[in-house]
Structure 1
Amino acid sequence: MTTPSNESWGFLHPECHGHNALLFFSWDLAKTIEQQFKLHAESSLAVQLHEAQKAVDRLLNQYVQIQANPGAFEGQSIKLRLERDDNSPDTPVLALQTSPRLEELILEVQAQEKASRTIN
């Protein structure tokens, strides 16, 4: 399986189901957040965060709609928030609060993917 290109979305990929859906979702999630902050770069941080949250909610819903992995995505959530870093208090850091079940599955599939890359 290859990483989706910048033009494509994981949820559009024919292999986006089951175990693979979690990998595609993590790529799409990073891309979604990055896109929203770029799109709304001229807006306040609060607006950027709000727009990114709406986009993340839409993305999660998209994975539910296509039934990519119902046990992983249905009823799950990801909440974005800004946290202060003690080392650089003037620069807030984006934090993702992922529902425990989804977070566990994503971390598991990322660890498996990393392990398979070191074997090959």
Structure 2
Amino acid sequence: MTTSETKTWGFLHPECHGRNALMFFSWDLARTIEEQFTLHASAPIDIRVYEAQKAVNRLLNQYVQIQANPKAFEGQSITLHIEHDESEPDKSVLALHTTAHLEQLILEVQEEQANQRIN
């Protein structure tokens, strides 16, 4: 992968439609969260989560606007929050709560991708 390819967002890819859009979305989602946490690294955790949430909302809206896969993205949501591990109180983890429909579709596409790599 070249540097220019890593800078391109999935929603800009010409093949970002239908089931392909779900894989592009999962890549863009990870990138969006990572970029926001890096950009706001010096801010308190609640601010980083808040900024990441705004960016995730914009990303989801972008996929709706380009009609990448209307049945997959319209009316769906992803909510970010921090969860604390009871066994390790000093550790916190960013949790994504995705609407069941969108989560199921993403998991199906990821499983298909994993199976293609194996075969």
TM-score range relative to shorter protein = over 0.9
Q: Which residues in structure 2 correspond to 1:1-120 (within 5 Å)? A: 5-119=5-119
What TM-score comes out, normalization by structure 1 length? 0.94
CA distance in 2, matches of 1:82, 1:6: 28
* 1:9-47 alpha-carbon deviations (Å, 9 max, x no partner): 000000000010000000000000000000000101010
What TM-score comes out, normalization by structure 2 length? 0.94
Runs of 4+ in 1 over 2 A off after TM superposition: none
For residue 81 of structure 1, report the CA deviation from its aligned partner. 0.5
Tell which deviates more after alignment, 84-93 or 22-31. 84-93
Structure 1 residue matching 2:82: 3-state secondary structure: strand
Cα RMSD for the two superposed structures: 1.1
CA distance in 2, matches of 1:38, 1:88: 24
* 1:37-95 alpha-carbon deviations (Å, 9 max, x no partner): 00000101010000000000000000000000000000000000100013421121000
Structure 1 residue matching 2:81: 3-state secondary structure: strand
Matched residues, number: 116
Residue segments in structure 1 that go unaligned for 5+ positions in a row = none
Partner AA of 1:30 in structure 2: A
Identity of aligned residues (%): 63
CA distance in 1, matches of 2:5, 2:21: 16
Residue segments in structure 2 that go unaligned for 5+ positions in a row = none
Structure 2 residue matching 1:75: 3-state secondary structure: coil
CA distance in 2, matches of 1:31, 1:86: 28
CA distance in 2, matches of 1:6, 1:38: 17
Structure 1 residue matching 2:43: 3-state secondary structure: coil
